[in-house]
Amino acid sequence: MTGLPRPAVRVPFHDLRDVHAATGVESEIGGALLRVAARGRYLLGAELAAFEERFAEYCGNAHCVAVGSGLDDARLALWALGVGEGDEVIVPSHTFIASWLAVSATGATPVPVEPGDPGEPGPGAFLLDPDRLEAALTPRTRAVMPVHLYGHPVDLDPVGAFAEPHGLAVVEDAAQATARYRGRRIGSGHRTAFSFYPGKNLGALGDGGAVVTSDPELADRLRLLRNYGAREKYRHEERGTNSRLDELQAAVLSVKLPYLDAWNTRRREIAARYGEALAGLPGVTVPEGRVAEPVWHQYVLRSPYRDRLRRRLAEAGVETLVHYPVAVHASGAYAGAGPCPAGGLPRAERLAGEVLSLPIGPHLPDEAVEVVIAAVQSAALDSWEEGP
């Protein structure tokens, strides 16, 4: 124990139990779990089919194929499209490593593209920059993977306008974004990969993911690949894999899906309050929405004093996280061997040093939001006065 006084209020970063308790969904989840246990069918049953139908409808699309994780859905979508050894897929330099790993797992090479200008107030400063796609194109390029990071949709129209004439597939990584772009739901496009990792806006009680697509052939191929390459038991048409969203998770997700829009609305309220209270603080850049309706999976500040801010906030009882502290190309997984252009990826590296995620979520009461705001205001002023 240190001699420091303990802060009066603690704001944890996120706890799914709080979300469930605050919204009364807990008992419904319990009921769903018991129902599945009693029914005795745990894989590829009625719960999976029902959730797939509901989630496709939510996205405004024809097909949903749910699999074992968000990494797997992007991997399987690329695999089903025939992407493999010798191919290249354009990915953002600033993302969670899973976006790159999905490409690498097919044998293809992820080709990173930097985000937009760090001075840009909108989310372009941390999202894939469509203006940089052309420079990343080679004869081996097969697909582009825009990642709707932190719940902010990438500017998709210019991405599509680039991809189409070059015959490239667009595979959206929407693990963090059940959002809208120019009035359209993310997931209403050709092929979008979602994650139901517990901490995502729609989280299971374990791993899960889904591809939502307008393409019946892709959906059919994904159903084959996720189940050992078999449509019928022991009739293996090709070398597939095992990646299935189980009945328990499907039932839990069906219970939670009707709450998702209200939860995202609450995230937006909190983001708006953070934005109005924190804009203009010295040494801090607050995120803004732009052409899109973000769902604020994370609320991410940028500051050259990130580590100092984070320490001060911890002392004030406010837990923060960093998404992500090491740029993917600089991580042990890709360093040295990775597809990093000459001159490196300075924007991704800078973001890794500056980003700071504040607590946000449907469970967070107004009082907690105000505690976070007061703590950030005071930490920012202190950090600024300390100088570089």
Ligand X SMILES: *Cc1c(COP(=O)(O)O)cnc(C)c1O
Please give the structure tokens belonging to residue 28.
């419904």
Alpha carbon distance 147, 137 (integer Å): 18
Among 32, 98, 170, 301, binds ligand X (CB under 6 A): 98
* Closest residue to ligand X: CB criterion: 70
Least separation, in Å, of the C-beta of 180 and ligand X? 18
Q: At what angle do helices 16-23 and 260-278 cross, to 10 degrees?
A: 110
Q: Where are the alpha helices (DSSP H) in 150-226?
A: 156-163, 216-226
Alpha carbon distance 324, 97 (integer Å): 9
In the sheet with 172-173, reading across from the earlier edge strand, the strands are 63-67, 209-213, 191-195, 172-173
Among 93, 141, 195, 249, binds ligand X (CB under 6 A): 195
Residues 313-342 that bind ligand X (CB under 6 A): none
Interface with ligand X includes 246 (CB under 6 A)?
no
Please give the structure tokens belonging to residue 211.
């591809």
Least separation, in Å, of the C-beta of 98 and ligand X? 3
Closest CA to 142 of 205, 82, 219: 82
Q: How far is CA 103 from CA 145, 158, 245, in A?
A: 9, 22, 21
Closest CA to 115 of 354, 358, 383, 351: 351
- Do the Cβ atoms of 80 and 72 come closer than 8 Å? no
Interface with ligand X includes 104 (CB under 6 A)?
no
Nearer to ligand X, 133 or 175 (CB): 175
Alpha carbon distance 182, 110 (integer Å): 28
Nearer to ligand X, 152 or 347 (CB): 152
> What is the total count of residues that contact ligand X (CB under 6 A)?
15
Interface with ligand X includes 87 (CB under 6 A)?
no
The interface region with ligand X, picked from 93-101, 121-129, 239-247, 306-314 by CB under 6 A, is 93-101
Among 175, 284, 295, 356, binds ligand X (CB under 6 A): 175
Alpha carbon distance 194, 119 (integer Å): 30
Among 47, 70, 283, 303, binds ligand X (CB under 6 A): 70
Least separation, in Å, of the C-beta of 101 and ligand X? 8
Interface with ligand X includes 147 (CB under 6 A)?
yes
Interface with ligand X includes 69 (CB under 6 A)?
yes
Least separation, in Å, of the C-beta of 286 and ligand X? 21
Least separation, in Å, of the C-beta of 209 and ligand X? 5
Among 93, 104, 109, 176, binds ligand X (CB under 6 A): 176
Residues in contact with ligand X by the rule CB under 6 A: 69-71, 95-96, 98-99, 147, 173, 175-176, 195, 197, 207, 209
